[in-house]
Structure 1
Amino acid sequence: MLRERGVAWVETASPAAHAQGLAETVAAALREALASRGEARLALSGGRSPIPFLQALACHVLDWEQVKLTLVDERWVSSDQPESNERLLRRHLQPVFDRLHWQPLYQGASPAQDAVTAGAALLKWQPLDVVVLGMGLDGHTASLFPGQPQVSQWLQPGAGALCAATLAADASPRLTLTGRALHSARRQLLAISGEQKLQVLIGALERAPADCPIAAFLRAPLEIHYCPDQA
C-alpha cells in the first residue's frame, strides 16, 4: 500500500547502516539545495533515536555556513535542560553546529508566544528542503499527538500557523512545526526502527490522522528509512 501511495522504502540491516544511510541521504539533499539555491533549509527531530544519525551527519563535508537548521519539535525548556532537543543537536552536531544558521523554537517567553516568534522567523524559510521525522508508538510525529483538540487542523498543509504550542501526553508543553511547514519540504524522511514501530506504521495506513498523526504523511514524497533492529 505504501508503494501505491508513492512512498519510498529504504531498509537497512543494522542500526549503524541505518544511521549512515540516513545521513548520506540528508547530506546529498543538502548539497543539491546548496548547488541550486546557495542555501539549504533543514528541520531535524530530537529524542534518543537520532543520535547516531546526527553524529554521522556531522562528519559530512558541506558548506555548513549556508545551511539553515531548526527543529521539527521542542520541549518547552531551555537548552541547558537535559530534555532539550536543542541541547541534543548542539552536542551531537558539535563539529558543525556553530557554523550553521540556527533557528530555535524555544525562546523563553511562553509556549504560545514562542510559537508565534518561531513561526514568523520560519516564514522566510518556506519551503523547507529536508525534514526528518520520527514516530512514537502512539503514532505521533513531531509534537502532534493523537486526540489533541486541534491536531487535525495542525496536520494540514494549509494550517494557518507554521509553529504551534501543544501538549504531550503527559501534559508537558511542547512546540511543534505544523503540517504547513512539514508538508512544504521537498524531501520528507521518516526514520523508524524495530518491529513495534513497523506495526504502528502499518496500522496507520488504515487510521485517521487525528487518531494517528503519522498517517497524514504516508504519501509521496515521503521516504521511509527502516531498520528491523533498534540500536
Structure 2
Amino acid sequence: MSRAWLAALRQRGVAWVETSSSAAHAQGLAETVAAALREALVLRGEAKLALSGGRSPIPFLDALACQLLDWEDIKLTLVDERWVGSDQPDSNERLLRSHLQPVFDRVHWLPLYRGLSPVQDAAVAGTMLLEWQPLDVAVLGMGLDGHTASLFPGQPRVSEWLQPDVGTVCAATLAADESPRLTLTGRALHSARRQLLAISGEQKLQVLIGALERDPADCPIAAFLRAPLEIHYCSDQA
C-alpha cells in the first residue's frame, strides 16, 4: 500500500510516530508530553498544558498521571469542554479529575466551564488564557468528521476560529448535535510549542489522509497539518 500521504506530511514538517498497540501508544504519548513539560520547567520554571477529553485519551491520561513531574509548577486546561458542570458524565473536567486523580490537586487548574453562559464562560476563560500564551503543549484529538477540539465542519465561524491570529482565545461553539461547547481557538492551539495529535484506527487514518486535500472549513484538522505538529498514530483502535 502506497504511503505517499506520509511523504506529504513530512514535506509539511509534520512528525509521525506509529505504534501497533494501544498500550504503547498511550505510554509513548505520555512520555512525550512529560519530556516536553520537563523541558519547559527547566527553561521557564513553569509549564502550560492543554489536554483533550473524550474516551480515546483515557489510557494516555492514566499513563500521564504516573509520570514523575513537578506538577505544582504545571498549569493545566482543556482543549475543549462540553457546556456542562463537572458533576455531569459528559464533562471533560470530570474525566481529567478522574484519570489524573493522583496529580490533579497539585496542578494549577483553569476550567473552561464556569456556569454563566457559553459566551460568558468563553470570554472569562479566554481572558485568563491570554496570560498563558504561548502554551507549551497542546494534545489534540480528531473525530471521524475531521473536527478537532470543538471546531466542527460547517460552523459559521470555523474558518475564523482556526486562524492563528483570531481575536479570541476561547470561543462558544455548537457540536453537530447542537449541544453547546467551549473550545480553544487557533490563536491558542497554534501557539503551542509542542502540538501533538493522537489518533487510532484505520478509519481515522483515512480521515487524516483525506484532510491533506481538504479545506479547513470542511475538515478543521486540516488547519493543523503542518509543522510543528507531531502525530501519534496507533493502528489498533482498541
Question: Quick check: TM above 0.5?
Answer: yes
Q: For residue 68 of structure 1, what is the aligned residue in structure 2?
A: 75
Identity %: 85
Q: For residue 113 of structure 1, what is the aligned residue in structure 2?
A: 120
Q: Which contiguous aligned blocks of 4+ residues in structure 1 show a shift greater than 4 angstroms?
A: none
Of the candidates 103, 106, 111, which is equivalent to residue 104 of structure 1? Answer: 111
Q: For residue 235 of structure 2, what is the aligned residue in structure 1?
A: 228
Q: For residues 69-125 of structure 1, what are the alpha-carbon distances to aligned partners after superposition, in whole Å with 9 as ceiling and x for unaligned?
A: 000000000000000000000000000000000000000000000000000010100
Query: Does residue 156 in structure 1 map to residue 163 in structure 2?
Result: yes
Q: For residues 154-190 of structure 1, what are the alpha-carbon distances to aligned partners after superposition, in whole Å with 9 as ceiling and x for unaligned?
A: 0000011000000000000000000000000000000
Of the candidates 3, 9, 26, which is equivalent to residue 2 of structure 1? Answer: 9
SS of aligned partner of 2:9? coil
Q: For residue 184 of structure 1, what is the aligned residue in structure 2?
A: 191
Cα shift at 1:230: 1.0
Q: For residue 40 of structure 1, what is the aligned residue in structure 2?
A: 47
Q: For residue 56 of structure 2, what is the aligned residue in structure 1?
A: 49
SS of aligned partner of 2:167? coil
Read off the aligned partner of 1:178 and give its amino acid letter: T
How many residue pairs get aligned? The number is 231
Read off the aligned partner of 1:160 and give its amino acid letter: G
Q: For residue 32 of structure 2, what is the aligned residue in structure 1?
A: 25
Structure 1 distance, partners of 2:156, 2:210, is 22
Q: For residue 149 of structure 2, what is the aligned residue in structure 1?
A: 142
Map of 1:113-132 to 2, 5 A cutoff? 113-132=120-139
Structure 1 distance, partners of 2:132, 2:188, is 9
Q: For residue 217 of structure 2, what is the aligned residue in structure 1?
A: 210
Structure 2 distance, partners of 1:227, 1:163, is 30
Structure 2 distance, partners of 1:219, 1:127, is 18
Structure 1 distance, partners of 2:59, 2:31, is 12
Unaligned runs of 5+ in 2: 1-7
Cα shift at 1:13: 1.4
Read off the aligned partner of 2:113 and give its amino acid letter: Y
Q: For residue 3 of structure 2, what is the aligned residue in structure 1?
A: none
Q: For residue 181 of structure 2, what is the aligned residue in structure 1?
A: 174
Structure 2 distance, partners of 1:228, 1:60, is 24
Unaligned runs of 5+ in 1: none
Query: Does residue 87 in structure 1 map to residue 94 in structure 2?
Result: yes
Structure 1 distance, partners of 2:118, 2:84, is 10
SS of aligned partner of 1:201? helix
Structure 2 distance, partners of 1:192, 1:57, is 17
